[in-house]
Structure 1
Amino acid sequence: MGLGIASFSRFITEMNHEASHMRAEELARWAVTELSVALGFDAAWYGWARLHPAGVDVFANATHQLPDDFFTTWQRMADQDLLARSKIEHPRHAAIYSRKQRQQTDGMADLSDRYGLTRMTTAMENPSGGLPNFYLSSYRVGNRAKSWSPEECEFLQCAVSHLTAAMKLSTAEPGRAAVPGSVTILASRDGIGFLCLDALREQFGDVWPRWTGDNLPEQLASLIGHPGTHVLTDRNLVVSVETTPGFEDMDLRRLTLRRLNRFDLLTRREREVARELAGGKSAKEVARHLGLAPATVRNQTQSIYQKLEVDNRAALVAAVPAGTG
Structure 2
Amino acid sequence: MMKETTRVHSQELSDLLLDLYSACHELAMSAFLPHALSSIKRRLPFDSAWWAMTTLVDDQYKFHASYVEGLPQNMHLLWLSIQQDDVVGKAFVANPDQTLNFTPDQVDSTKGSRWLARTTGFRHVLCTVNVKLMIAQRHFLALSRHDDRHAFSESERCFKELLMPHLNSMLDINRMTELRRLHAQGSEQRQPMAVVDRLGAIHHAEAAFMEQIKRQWPRWWGPRVPAPVLDLLLKGETSHAAPNIMVQWFWVGDLAVMELSPRSPQDALSRRELEVAKCFAGGASYKEVAQSLGLAPATVRHHLRVIYGKLEISDKAALVRKCNSDGGAAL
- Per the normalisation by structure 2, the TM-score is 0.67
| Corresponding letter in the other structure for 1:225 | L
Map 1:23-172 to 2 at 5 A: 27-50=32-55, 57-65=61-69, 66-101=71-106, 104-126=109-131, 128=133, 131-144=136-149, 146-170=150-174, 171-172=176-177
Contact 1:241 1:255 in 2 (8 A): yes
Q: Provide Cα deviations, 1:224-265, integer angstroms capped at 9, x if missing partner.
A: 335563141x434333334443xx5xxx44433332346867
What value does the CA root-mean-square deviation take over the aligned residues? 4.3
Q: Provide Cα deviations, 1:201-243, integer angstroms capped at 9, x if missing partner.
A: 31332211221242421112113335563141x4343333344
Q: Displacement of 1:173 after TM fit?
A: 6.6
Is the alpha carbon distance of 1:87 and 1:230 closer, same or farther for their aligned partners in structure 2, counting shifts above 3 Å?
Answer: same
Structure 1 segments unaligned to the other structure (5+ residues)? 275-294, 297-302
Contact 2:135 2:202 in 1 (8 A): no
Contact 1:175 1:185 in 2 (8 A): no
Is the alpha carbon distance of 1:58 and 1:9 closer, same or farther for their aligned partners in structure 2, counting shifts above 3 Å?
Answer: farther
Query: Would you say 1:186 and 2:195 are equivalent positions?
Result: yes
Count of aligned positions: 284
In 1: Cα distance, 2:111 partner to 2:213 partner: 47
Q: Aligned with 1:223: secondary structure?
A: helix
Q: Give the corresponding residue for 2:296.
A: none
Contact 2:194 2:258 in 1 (8 A): yes
Query: Would you say 1:255 and 2:258 are equivalent positions?
Result: yes
In 2: Cα distance, 1:240 partner to 1:161 partner: 30
Q: Aligned with 2:218: secondary structure?
A: coil
In 2: Cα distance, 1:189 partner to 1:29 partner: 23
In 1: Cα distance, 2:158 partner to 2:55 partner: 21
Q: Give the corresponding residue for 1:205.
A: 214
Q: Aligned with 1:206: secondary structure?
A: helix
Query: Would you say 1:10 and 2:19 are equivalent positions?
Result: no
In 1: Cα distance, 2:266 partner to 2:119 partner: 58
Query: Would you say 1:217 and 2:220 are equivalent positions?
Result: no
In 1: Cα distance, 2:173 partner to 2:136 partner: 19
Is the alpha carbon distance of 1:10 and 1:317 closer, same or farther for their aligned partners in structure 2, counting shifts above 3 Å?
Answer: farther
Task: Spell out structure 1 runs of 4+ moving beyond 6 A.
Answer: 173-179, 262-267, 306-310
Residues 185-194 or 4-13, more deviating: 185-194
Q: Displacement of 1:113 after TM fit?
A: 0.7
Contact 2:53 2:66 in 1 (8 A): no
Q: Aligned with 1:205: secondary structure?
A: helix
Q: Give the corresponding residue for 1:241.
A: 249
Larger Rg: 2
In 1: Cα distance, 2:34 partner to 2:231 partner: 28
In 1: Cα distance, 2:190 partner to 2:147 partner: 51
Q: Displacement of 1:116 after TM fit?
A: 0.9
Q: Displacement of 1:34 after TM fit?
A: 2.7
Higher helix share: 2
Q: Displacement of 1:141 after TM fit?
A: 2.2
Q: Displacement of 1:159 after TM fit?
A: 1.9
In 1: Cα distance, 2:129 partner to 2:218 partner: 30
Is the alpha carbon distance of 1:242 and 1:42 closer, same or farther for their aligned partners in structure 2, counting shifts above 3 Å?
Answer: farther
Residues 157-166 or 187-196, more deviating: 187-196
Q: Displacement of 1:149 after TM fit?
A: 1.5
In 1: Cα distance, 2:101 partner to 2:147 partner: 16
In 1: Cα distance, 2:27 partner to 2:263 partner: 28
- Per the normalisation by structure 1, the TM-score is 0.68
Is the alpha carbon distance of 1:136 and 1:102 closer, same or farther for their aligned partners in structure 2, counting shifts above 3 Å?
Answer: closer
Q: Provide Cα deviations, 1:266-299, integer angstroms capped at 9, x if missing partner.
A: 96xx99xx9xxxxxxxxxxxxxxxxxxxx89xxx
Structure 2 segments unaligned to the other structure (5+ residues)? 1-6, 279-291, 294-303, 312-317
Map 1:272-291 to 2 at 5 A: none
Q: Provide Cα deviations, 1:99-131, integer angstroms capped at 9, x if missing partner.
A: 244861111111111111111121122564681
Q: Displacement of 1:162 after TM fit?
A: 0.7
Contact 1:236 1:259 in 2 (8 A): yes
